[in-house]
Chain A
Amino acid sequence: MSVSSRKSLFVENLRKNAMVEMLSKGQRTDGRGLTDFRKLTIKAGTMIKAEGSAQVDLGNTRVIAGVKIAAGAPFPDTPDEGVLIVGAEVLPIASAYAEPGPPDEDTIELARVVDRGVRESHMVDLKQMVIEPGKKVYTVFVDVTVINVDGNLLDATSYAVVTALATTKFKKMTIKEDQVVQLEETSALPVTTIPVSVTVARVGNILFLDPTSEEESIREARLTFATTEGKPCAAQKGGTSGFTPEEVLKALDLAVEKAKTIEPILREAIDSAKKGSAN
C-alpha cells in the first residue's frame, strides 16, 4: 500500500518562503542558477571485488554502484537475451529519515526508474549476453547503495549505474558437461550508448535542476527524463502535484540540453578508469 509520505526534511515556512522567493529570481541558496548542477565527481572501479563499480558524489549526495555477474536462466519471454537487474538500497547511515529494512516504495521507484533509463536506451546489448541460447545467460546485477542523501538520488544513482556498467570487466563463462565453467578470458559488457538522466523539479511555475534535500522538501513535483543521443528513452513524473503540458515539453528540452554537459563527465570517468586498468 502506498501511503502519503511524511519522512522528509522539515523546513520552516519562513525559510521555504525565502527559498521560493529566491528561485523566482533565478537564484538558489547555495549560489547556483536554476539549471546548474552541484559539483559532480565520479570515480569508477573503487570496489575491487565487484566486476564494475562507481562512486558518485553530487554535492553531498553520495551513492556507490557495484556490478556482479552470474550465470542464470533467461526470462521465458526473452530466451535469447541476458538479464539485467538494478536494485537500490538507502542505508540507515544515509540520512536521519532512512531506516533499515526492505526497500520502501521510494527506493523501489528509484531502482525501477534508473533501470528503465538503462534498459530502454539499450545501453547494454543483452542479445550478446547469452551463454547457451534459451538455457543459460549472463545475469547482470547492479546494486546501488546510497551512503548519504542530499537530494537528486535519481540522477546520482543513474550516473553510478551507468559508469559501473560501462567499466565492468567479467570472466566469460561456458557450459561443459552441463556445468557452467568460468574461463580465464575477461570481457567488457557490450555497451552501445551512455544514457543520461536529468530530473527537473517544479515549484510554482519555476523549473530547476538537481535539487538538494532542502529544495526537494519545497518542490511540488518532479519529472525525470533519461536521454540517449539527445532523444528521450524513459520518463517518470513524481510528487503530489503535476505539470502543465507546456512545462512537460520545457522540462524535456532542459533535460536534453543538460545531458550534453553531463555526458562528457560520465565518459571521462569511464575512459580514465579504462586507461587506469590497462596499465
Chain B
Amino acid sequence: MNLIDENGTRIDGRKVDELRPIKMEVGVLKNADGSAYIEWGKNKIVAAVYGPKECHPKHLALADRAVMKCRYHMAPFSVSDRKAPQPSRREIELSKVTREALAPALILEEYPRTAIEIYVEVLTSDGGSRGAGITAAAAALADAGIPMRDLVVACAAGKAQDHLILDLNDEEDKEGQVDLPVALMPNLGEVTLLQMDGILTREEFETAFKMALEGCKKVYEIQREAVMQRYFGESRPINKEA
C-alpha cells in the first residue's frame, strides 16, 4: 500500500505534520460525575469518571490518597474483526499506561480512602485510540470537578514510508514503520506517557518526539475549548498573561 505519495500527501489527504479532524464534547453522560466524547479521525471514544467515591473492595483503599481505577476497553464492534469483550493483554497494558498518564495531573491526596474510576470506552477504533482516550479522560476528570495540576493531552508521531508523520491513522499504524504515542501536561511541560515501537535514529527520534509534543499542544487548544464550552457555554480566549 502506498501511504504517502510523491507530493508528501497521505492516504487521507493530510500533510505529514497535519492532525486528523478532532471534535470534543464534555459532559455527555447524565449519570457519570464527569464525561467526555471525542471524535478523532474515525475514532469514536467516550470517557467517563465516577468519584471520588467509596473504595470497593475496602482493602484497596489507601490511607493517604485516593485510589485510581482505570479501564481502557474496546467495544467488540470497534474493529474490523470482532474483538472478544473480555480484556485482552493489550487492553490491560493500555489501562495501566492510561492510568499512569493521568495520575501525575491528579491531586489524589485531597481524597484519602476514596476511589476515582476512569473508563475509556472505544466505540470505533482508528489508530491513536489510546491518545484520544487519554485526551477525553482528562477532560472527563476536569468535568467531574476533581482537582488537577494540569490537563493531559496526547498525540502520536511516527514513521511511514521513510517519512516522519504526525497522528497516525489505522493504515499508517499497521503498515507504517514506527508509532510513538506521547501524552503531555501542556502547562507543566511534563511527558506522562511515552511508548514506541519501530526503529528510529537518534535524530529521527528527537524530531518525531518534538512533532508529537507540537501535536499535543494543538490538541490541547481543542480540549480546552471543549471544557470551557461545558462550563461557560461560550468560547473564552486563552489568557497568555495569566
Q: Chain A contacts of B153 at CB under 8 A?
A: none
Q: State which size class the interface on B falls in.
A: 35 or more
- State which residues 220-275 of A face B: CB under 8 Å: 223, 228, 230-245, 248-249, 252-253, 256
B67 contacts A235, C-beta separation under 8 Å: no
Across the two chains, which residue of chain A brings its CB closest to B81? A76
Q: Chain B contacts of A234 at CB under 8 A?
A: 196-198
A240 contacts B196, C-beta separation under 8 Å: no
Number of interface residues of A (CB under 8 A): 39
A242 contacts B191, C-beta separation under 8 Å: yes
Q: Mark A90-114, 1 if CB is under 8 A from B, else 0.
A: 0000000000000001101101100
Given contacts A232-B196, A241-B104, A243-B194, contact A248 B209 (CB under 8 A): yes
B92 contacts A228, C-beta separation under 8 Å: no
Is B53's CB within 8 Å of the partner chain A? no
B200 contacts A231, C-beta separation under 8 Å: yes
A237 contacts B194, C-beta separation under 8 Å: yes
Q: Chain A contacts of B195 at CB under 8 A?
A: 235-237
CB within 8 A of A245: which of B67, B99, B180, B191?
A: B191
B95 contacts A228, C-beta separation under 8 Å: no
Cβ of A218 to closest chain B Cβ, rounded Å? 16
A3 contacts B194, C-beta separation under 8 Å: no
Q: Chain A contacts of B60 at CB under 8 A?
A: 3, 6
State A252–B208 Cα separation when bound (angstroms): 14
Q: Chain A contacts of B206 at CB under 8 A?
A: 249
State A242–B90 Cα separation when bound (angstroms): 22
CB within 8 A of B103: which of A231, A240, A245?
A: A240
State A232–B207 Cα separation when bound (angstroms): 13
B96 contacts A120, C-beta separation under 8 Å: no
B70 contacts A2, C-beta separation under 8 Å: yes
B194 contacts A236, C-beta separation under 8 Å: yes
Across the two chains, which residue of chain A brings its CB closest to B73? A1
Is A4's CB within 8 Å of the partner chain B? yes
Q: Mark A1-20, 1 if CB is under 8 A from B, else 0.
A: 11110100000000000000
B69 contacts A232, C-beta separation under 8 Å: no
Q: Chain A contacts of B58 at CB under 8 A?
A: none
Cβ of B37 to closest chain A Cβ, rounded Å? 21
CB within 8 A of B69: which of A1, A235, A248?
A: A1
Task: Give 13 A-B contacts (CB < 8 Å), ordered by A residue.
Answer: A2-B96, A3-B68, A112-B89, A120-B199, A231-B201, A233-B198, A236-B97, A236-B194, A236-B195, A237-B100, A237-B192, A237-B194, A242-B104
Q: A233-B197, A238-B100 are known contacts; what are 15 more A-B pairs with Cβ within 8 Å?
A: A2-B68, A2-B69, A2-B98, A4-B108, A112-B89, A230-B202, A231-B199, A235-B194, A236-B97, A236-B194, A237-B192, A241-B190, A242-B185, A245-B213, A248-B209
